[in-house]
A and B are shown apart, each in its own frame.
Chain A
Amino acid sequence: MKVIALIYGDEGRWDSFSDKERNAVYEQYRAFGQQADGRVLDGAELAPTRSATTVRVRGGETVVTDGPFAETKEQLGGFYLLECENLDEAAELAAQIPGASTGAVEVRTVSEEGSS
């Protein structure tokens, strides 16, 4: 089955990192990618939430606001789409994602129907 791993972390911490510190984190992610090879179907790093835009339509009117839809202590910074046997295996794999050691990784099951 497919699972999405949502990687949450403190973006303030990331903002404060030097290039060298960032490269060290990217290096950890590359290592995870190699180790999880074949089980990673997709993934991306997101720009900080200050570049987020939230869209709602109410009564036919579009309301566009800056920022994420919810303010949280840790912010969504990236995701992986993973192929796993079950949610337990997904949680095990998620623990290997570098962000799990500094923030949190939420694993969610992908629906078999309605995906494109």
Chain B
Amino acid sequence: MKYLLLLNNDALDVESWQGLSQEESRKAREQEMPRWNELFGWIAEQGIEVSGQELESPKASRVVRVRNGETAVTDGPFAETKELLGGYFLAECKDLDQAIELAEHVPIVSKGSVEIRPLVTQ
């Protein structure tokens, strides 16, 4: 069963990261690395097939709507929420329980949330 895991960061955290210099941002990232490596180690151990992407700041997003043939592009994000999508994993899990277990291992889950969405299989 394939699941999309949406990695949502706390919006206040995201805001504070934006104030960081490049050097500070690199250091913060380095500090987080062991926890992510732990996650990737766990994924490998479980033999879960996972791909994923990290997203840039939601400030750089655009929202596109087409109505009556006219395209309207506005600045994103799509919704003002307390948590902001920061990345995702696409994972082939045995079942929802394994997907939940995977979510528990994602570092951001302790400050933000991980939303699990099953894929439609056709």
In the complex, what residue of chain A is closest to B106 when comparing beta carbons? A55
Smallest distance from the beta carbon of B84 to chain A beta carbons, Å?
10
Q: Which of A6-34 contact B (CB under 8 A)?
A: 6, 8
Contact between A52 and B64 (Cβ–Cβ < 8 Å)? no
Interface size on A, residues (CB 8 A): 49
Contact between A55 and B117 (Cβ–Cβ < 8 Å)? no
Name B119's contact: one of A46, A54, A74, A107 (CB within 8 Å): A46
Question: How far apart sit A58 and B29, CA to CA, in the bound complex (Å)?
Answer: 22
Contact between A115 and B109 (Cβ–Cβ < 8 Å)? no
Question: How far apart sit A76 and B78, CA to CA, in the bound complex (Å)?
Answer: 10
Contact with B along A41-81 (1 / 0, CB 8 A): 01011110101111111100010100011101010100101
Select the residue from A68, A87, A108 with max chain B CB neighbours within 10 A. Answer: A108
Select the residue from B66, B73, B99, B109 with max chain A CB neighbours within 10 A. Answer: B66
Smallest distance from the beta carbon of B52 to chain A beta carbons, Å?
5
In the complex, what residue of chain A is closest to B40 when comparing beta carbons? A116
Contact between B8 and A108 (Cβ–Cβ < 8 Å)? no
Overall SS of chain B's interface: strand
Contact between A57 and B110 (Cβ–Cβ < 8 Å)? yes
Contact between A116 and B119 (Cβ–Cβ < 8 Å)? no
Question: How far apart sit A3 and B113, CA to CA, in the bound complex (Å)?
Answer: 22
Q: What residues on A are CB-neighbors of B61 within 8 Å? A: 106-109
Contact between A53 and B55 (Cβ–Cβ < 8 Å)? no
In the complex, what residue of chain B is closest to A64 when comparing beta carbons? B100
Name A94's contact: one of B64, B99, B100, B118 (CB within 8 Å): B64
Are A107 and B64 CB-contacts (below 8 A) given A8-B78, A47-B119, A95-B71?
A: yes
Contact between A42 and B90 (Cβ–Cβ < 8 Å)? yes
Select the residue from B2, B52, B67, B109 with max chain A CB neighbours within 10 A. Answer: B109
Smallest distance from the beta carbon of B4 to chain A beta carbons, Å?
6
A-B contact pairs, 13 of them (CB 8 A): A4-B53, A4-B55, A44-B120, A46-B120, A53-B116, A55-B114, A68-B117, A76-B117, A91-B73, A92-B71, A111-B55, A114-B36, A115-B52
* B interface residues with partner A (beta carbon < 8 Å): 2, 4, 6, 8, 29, 36, 40, 50-56, 58, 60-67, 71, 73, 76-79, 81-83, 85, 87-88, 90, 96, 99-100, 103-104, 109-110, 112-120, 122
